Amino acid sequence: MPLLVKKVQVSPLHAPLYAPFRIATGQHDALENVLLRLELADGIVGFGEAAVATHITGETIARTTSNLKEAGAALIGEDIADYRALLYSFQERFDGNHAALAAFEMAVLDAFCRSMKIPLWRLFGARPAKLSTDITVVIGSLAEAQAWTKDFYTRGFRSFKVKVGREPELDVERVRIVAKCAPKASIILDANQAFTASGMLKFLKALKSHGICPVLLEQPVAKADWDGSRELTRVSGVLVCADESVGSLAAAVLALKTGAVNAVNIKLMKSGFLEGAAIARLAQARGAKLMMGAMMESALAITAGAHLAAGLGGFEFIDLDTTFFIKGPCARSPYLNAKGQFDLSQASAGIGVKVTPQS
């Protein structure tokens, strides 16, 4: 039976944050995303979200909105039953605008899975893995890091991802405070490209002198600095994870083949579902560790990312925590508890998150 698209709507998706989400290259003061809603001829709907992180990817809300409107217009009357062929045929429209690609794929897959009455994870695997997300400690004061860490450690979080790279000396102190307030937790560092390889090694040495050894370094050096990344992978003794440097299957092939990293952060907003799944399978085949990450995403996209990771399985690191920064209904996922654990085993059809388009 054909699943014909009848109607497509693109609208803003906005929400306030509890605290600015501050990293080495910039910050989000609010959630300002784009929502795609599509409706099939039989009334079934699907939702997709584009999380625009201009300070990281250079993408803009204006371009994401216009791309989604154009692609949406071209989607009317199309049959999504063969979703794979359909999505591949639309891929080129989103060159350089992968947040829009992610929203487009998300809405089509949500509607397809609702039509089939299966949860989204079922497209990627036989049973959903349980996932526990880390919580991010953003760049900020020592007092902020302390209060935030204590709060989330008390809630039950046992993995803390500390954003570093603006002021190394203060960063060392912040990591120390996190380690002190979360004694049984593991620590991930995310530098968002801010270090050189030697600077990162010096930073690790400073932490080691305080008895702190992170489990993973995310994007320690500039995304084009493959030599620096390879050096760290070889000598640091810590997992080195590509984030900004790997947004495509081609980049993943290069990074893994040359030994530049031994872990990869997969994000829907970087590569969508189809290519994201391909990157994950490639990384697994090469023995690299997997992280599932996100941009500043509401419960819709965060839960969609959890479906992908849970379906594929094998993700050792889950960084799907942005709903803990968001105020209001956009933060609610029915499958994520207050300790940061996702359980999709009882998920309803599609992504299973209720969305109310804002005017």
Residues of this chain, 241-270, that bind Mg ion according to CB under 5 A: 243
Smallest distance, Å, CB 191 to Mg ion?
Answer: 8
CB within 8 Å of 242: residues ≥ 6 apart: 219, 229, 251, 252, 255, 260, 261, 263, 264, 265
List C-alpha distances in Å: 358 to 31, 102, 329.
13, 20, 11
Question: 273 φ, ψ to 5°?
Answer: -85, -50
Smallest distance, Å, CB 286 to Mg ion?
Answer: 20
Question: By CB under 5 A, which span of 140-148, 240-248, 266-274, 283-291 interacts with Mg ion?
Answer: 240-248
Residues of this chain, 189-218, that bind Mg ion according to CB under 5 A: 190, 218
- 53 vs 106 by CB, closer to Mg ion: 53
Site string for Mg ion, 131-170 (x = CB under 5 A): ----------------------------------------
Closest Cα to residue 307, out of 346, 281, 278, 356?
346
What radius of gyration do the chain's Cα atoms show? 20
Task: Look up residue 20 and give its two tokens.
Answer: 């600015």
d(C-alpha 109, C-alpha 103), whole Å: 10
Smallest distance, Å, CB 66 to Mg ion?
Answer: 27
DSSP result, 53-112:
-HHHH---HHHHHHHHHHHHHHHTT-B-TTHHHHHHHHGGGGTT-HHHHHHHHHHHHHHH
- 192 vs 303 by CB, closer to Mg ion: 192
- 65 vs 262 by CB, closer to Mg ion: 262
Question: For Mg ion, how many residues bind (rule: CB under 5 A)?
Answer: 3
Task: Give me the half-sphere count of Cα atoms (radius 13 Å) on the Cβ side of residue 84.
Answer: 6
Smallest distance, Å, CB 244 to Mg ion?
Answer: 7
Question: By CB under 5 A, which span of 11-19, 116-124, 168-176, 183-191 interacts with Mg ion?
Answer: 183-191
- 189 vs 355 by CB, closer to Mg ion: 189
Helix, strand, coil % in the chain, rounded to nearest 5 = 45, 25, 35
Smallest distance, Å, CB 265 to Mg ion?
Answer: 6
List C-alpha distances in Å: 70 to 80, 98, 100, 198.
17, 15, 11, 46
d(C-alpha 142, C-alpha 177), whole Å: 7
DSSP 129: P
- Asked if 339 and 157 count as a contact pair (C-beta separation under 8 A), the reply is yes
Task: Look up residue 325 and give its two tokens.
Answer: 């920064």
- 24 vs 71 by CB, closer to Mg ion: 24
Smallest distance, Å, CB 311 to Mg ion?
Answer: 22
Residue 171 makes contact with Mg ion by CB under 5 A: no
- 231 vs 319 by CB, closer to Mg ion: 319
Smallest distance, Å, CB 192 to Mg ion?
Answer: 6
Question: By CB under 5 A, which span of 5-13, 163-171, 182-190, 325-333 interacts with Mg ion?
Answer: 182-190
- Nearest residue relative to Mg ion (C-beta): 243
- 59 vs 243 by CB, closer to Mg ion: 243
Smallest distance, Å, CB 219 to Mg ion?
Answer: 5
Smallest distance, Å, CB 90 to Mg ion?
Answer: 27
- 109 vs 241 by CB, closer to Mg ion: 241
d(C-alpha 18, C-alpha 84), whole Å: 38
- 3 vs 240 by CB, closer to Mg ion: 240
- Residues forming contacts to Mg ion in the complex (CB under 5 A) are 190, 218, 243
